[in-house]
Amino acid sequence: MTTIQHTFRLTALATALMSFFGSALAEETPDVSQLTKPDSSVSVGVGNWSGDRHQLGIYDGMRDKGAVGLLDADVVKRDDATGTWLKLKATNLGLDTREVRGEYLRQGDFGISLDYNRTPYNNPNTFTTRLQGIGTTTQTVSTTATPGPLQNVKLGTDREMTHLGLFKNLMPGLDFNVSFKNEEKTGTRAWGRGSAAEFAVEPINSTTRQLETTLSYATKKLQLSGGYYGSAYDNKNNLVALTNAGLAVSNANTTYLSLPLDNQAHQLFLNGGYAFTPSTRGTFKLAYTHATQNETLPTQAIPGLSLAGSPSNLNGAINTSLVQMGISSRPSKELSLLANLRYNNVDDVTPVSRFVTTGTSCATAGSCVDNTPLSYKTLSGKLEGTYRLPDGYSLTAGAEESRQDRTIPTSNNLGAGGTDTQRVVPFRYKLDETTYRLGLRRSLSDTVNGSVTYLNSSRTGSSYVSSANGPGGAASNLINPINIADRKRNKVRISVDWALLENLSLQFNVEEARDDYAFNNDYGVRNGAAKLYGLDATYTLNDKWKMNAWYSYDNNQAKQLNTRAANSIKDNTLQDTGHSLGLGARGDIFWNTKVGADLQWTRTVNKYQQTLNAPQTASFSGDLPDIENNMIRLKLFSVYAVDKTSDVRFDLIHERWKTNDWSWMFANGSTPFSYGTTTDGTTVTAAQKQISNFVGVRYIYKFQ
């Protein structure tokens, strides 16, 4: 709905200007002419990358070295007599990231648009494997007795999305919008099988469809928008069978891996607002969603694979109800008030059923597996006020309260004492959080504006409901889950906009936050901290030259305690630090030649510090090596105007990527980790230094 409304809003300014200037086209100013007779252009060119860009080309469709086509078009036509716009925009037609959009719009009456875009994802790693059947639902794992051919495999996915939008004005103040999206996702993704480290590949072939219809009505005081939203996910694959080479294909020799099942969701919604007075406005939002997953389980079709008597499908259903109300008012010139209340009820009505059993008795944790529905109700409210003080100051204070009632996931696996043998971590049935906000803002002068905001929040809840001493033994009940643990958060934000000179402006931003977790249990996160500093500068040298620069620093860290062995606790300090710097310049060196340059540098460092509270053993290595990533990218371009309708553009790019990432290595940092050393032997590698240069040239033709 939001997308469609934004799509057909573009001509509001053009309409207003046309009604003022009328049909006196000869008297149009250049700005008005640009709105009513915008330029169109077509560009054709070619470029070449000198080296592979496995890390920096993950999403841009230019992962491998070689030549690429550069083809773009932006065509805009307008019929002045009928106020009709016809638009066609195409970008990256020579790449895997191509996008095409066509639009027909009759101002204030009717509009239709059709979009197509393709989004690739290329895994930056190279997989050297003997696994056969990659990309299919039947895969064969090599063994030492029956080894398969060794091959280098690249994994990745492609998303192709088609979007149809329709707009129709039914009468003054009443609009109808339709949006339909269809997304096809295909490809492969790194996976695994069983409880051991054994390599597999997930075959991806799915369709997601979304339909939204909206009817909007607006008067001077009342605005209403309601309709239907629906989604459907269809997975062409539902089960993957992996068999060891040399063994007969049978249930005993095959590992079956399930894939996401088909699902649907249907929502009815109504949003609105009403202006009670010129200074007081109320808003509301109502929505009800029914989501289901009832596809027949693929294991039912394989004799002996499913538990006897288990349901043929999950019969899953979740009903979500949302009610939200708000009011804003300005009772006086100095005071503004805002309040809202929100109720969200997620009701999981999926029946509890048993699908897996590994023993004759369910008294042992993990021997029987039931699905465990989880429902929760959340009531939250916000109250905020802003008071304007003398000398340009304004003070804002607010409070937010959230209260959540949660069901405790319970299966039919009741062991000794009636405990649930399937739940393996503690749970809470109530979770409450309160946040207070205080902010001060001042316009220090015509050239300086600044603000500071302080937030304090506290989360607490009911007592913990114990687990059943699951796979972690008695230690399972000592875990402090981060998402429900008691927590106190303090956060400060500072921002300053400063026009230091008429042609120089600066922006400063600072954010710092700290989380402290009440350590009622022994294991889990104890505290965390985050810092973010940013600086932006823009300098206009003259009418022909403009420069900009920016720098950002971020630091995130967390401390946690884990158990490693009996009477041994491991103390971890995890830290992620990033530095980013950017420089840019644009200008004219001749009347017909524009040039520009952009430099970007990024450095990230991940630290993994760990100590034991007991004497270290030979198997404990202490601190892990830091992982450092460095990237530098330099872009240069020039545009030469051949004549009024033709340009030639040249692009040069230099990229460097360097890392010492040891994630897929053994402790020595030089030998790749090997999946299943006695079977498949798959390894995962990546070039730790990647350098590539791009040279491109394109011809641009402009017309009206």
pLDDT band for 617, please (50, 70, 90 cuts): low
pLDDT score of 676 more than 80: no
Q: CB-based contacts of 403: which residues, under 8 Å, 6+ apart? A: 378, 379, 380, 430, 431, 432
Decide if pLDDT at 702 tops 90.
yes
pLDDT tens digits, residue range 692-701?
999 999 999 9
Task: Give the span between the Cα atoms of 115 and 94, in whole angstroms.
Answer: 17
Closest CA to 385 of 337, 440, 436, 442: 337
Residue-level pLDDT at 565: 59
Residue pLDDT, tens place only, 618-662: 566 677 889 999 999 999 999 999 999 999 999 999 999 999 999
Q: What is the chain's Cα-based Rg?
A: 30
Residue 283 β-bridge partners:
273, 326
Task: Evaluate if residue 674 carries a pLDDT over 80.
Answer: yes
Question: CA-CA distance, 428 to 437, in Å (whole number)?
Answer: 27
pLDDT of residue 621: 64
**Burial class of residue 588 (count of CB atoms within 10 Å of its CB; 0-12, 13-18, 19+):** middle
Q: Looking at residue 571, what is its pLDDT?
A: 85
Q: Per-residue pLDDT averaged across 509-534, rounded?
A: 89
207-225: average pLDDT: 97
Compute the average pLDDT of residues 85-96.
Answer: 95
CA-wise closest residue to 32 among 44, 45, 16:
16
Is 364 a residue whose pLDDT tops 90?
Answer: no
Answer for the pair 370, 362: CB distance below 8 angstroms, yes or no: no
Return d(Cα 626, Cα 659) in angstroms, integer. 10
| Residue 257 reports pLDDT greater than 80 | yes
More confident: 42 or 192? 42
pLDDT for residue 341: 98
What is the mean predicted confidence (pLDDT) over 12-29? 34
- Amino acid occupying residue 436: Y
Which of 25-29, 44-48, 246-250, 676-680: highest mean pLDDT?
A: 44-48
According to DSSP, the residues that pair with 249 across neighbouring strands are none
pLDDT band at residue 1 using 50, 70 and 90 as cut-offs: very low
Residue 107 has pLDDT above 50, yes or no: yes
So where are the chain's domains?
Answer: 381-524
CA distance 482 to 479: 9
* pLDDT on residue 5: 38
Band (32; pLDDT cuts 50, 70, 90): very low
Mean pLDDT, to the nearest integer, of 63-83?
92
118 in Cβ contact with 135 (< 8 Å): no
Going by C-alpha positions, the residue among 513, 530, 515, 633 that lies closest to residue 578 is 530
* Segment 360-383 mean pLDDT: 80
- The pTM of this model reads 0.86
Among the ranges given (92-96, 162-166, 469-473), the one the predictor scored with the smallest mean pLDDT: 469-473
Lowest mean pLDDT among 174-178, 524-528, 647-651: 524-528
CB atoms within 10 A of CB 405: 15
Highest mean pLDDT among 112-116, 539-543, 609-613, 615-619: 112-116
Portion of the chain with pLDDT greater than 70, in percent:
85
- Measure CA 408 to chain center: 29
Task: Note whether 514 and 527 are within 8 A (CB).
Answer: yes
Pick the more confident residue, 691 or 366.
Answer: 691
pLDDT in tens, 278-306: 999 999 999 999 999 999 888 888 877 77
At 2 the pLDDT is 39
CB atoms within 10 A of CB 20: 8
Going 63 to 69 to 70 to 75, the CA torsion angle's sign is negative
Residue 118 CA to its chain's centroid (Å): 17
| Bridge partners, 289 (sequence order) | 267, 320
**Please, which residues bridge with residue 268 across strands?**
228, 288
Tokens of 606: 């991940």
* pLDDT higher than threshold 50 for residue 6: no
Q: What is the mean pLDDT of residues 592-618?
A: 86
Cα–Cα distances in Å, from 410 out to 342, 387, 476, 687? 28, 50, 16, 47
Q: Which pLDDT does position 562 carry in this prediction?
A: 80
Report the pLDDT value the prediction gives residue 299, as an integer from 0 to 100.
83
Contact (CB, 8 A) for 112 and 94 = no
Q: Give the chain's mean pLDDT.
A: 86
pLDDT tens-place string over residues 445-463: 777 889 999 999 999 999 8
Q: Report pLDDT digits (tens) over 114-158.
A: 999 999 999 999 999 999 999 999 998 887 777 778 899 999 999
More confident site: 193 or 12? 193
Residue 304 token pair: 């002996």
Of 466-480, 510-524, 634-648, minimum mean pLDDT range: 466-480
Q: Give me the pLDDT at residue 89, please.
A: 96
Which pLDDT belongs to residue 21? Answer: 31
- Model pLDDT, residue 165: 97
What's the pLDDT score for residue 696?
Answer: 96
Dihedral of CA 250/251/254/256: which sign? positive
Contacts (Cβ under 8 Å, ≥6 apart) of 670: none
Q: Are the C-beta atoms of residues 46 and 680 closer than 8 Å to each other?
A: no
Rounded distance, CA 295 to CA 304, Å?
Answer: 20
Is it the case that residue 251 has pLDDT exceeding 60?
yes
396-418 pLDDT, tens digit each: 999 999 999 998 877 666 555 55
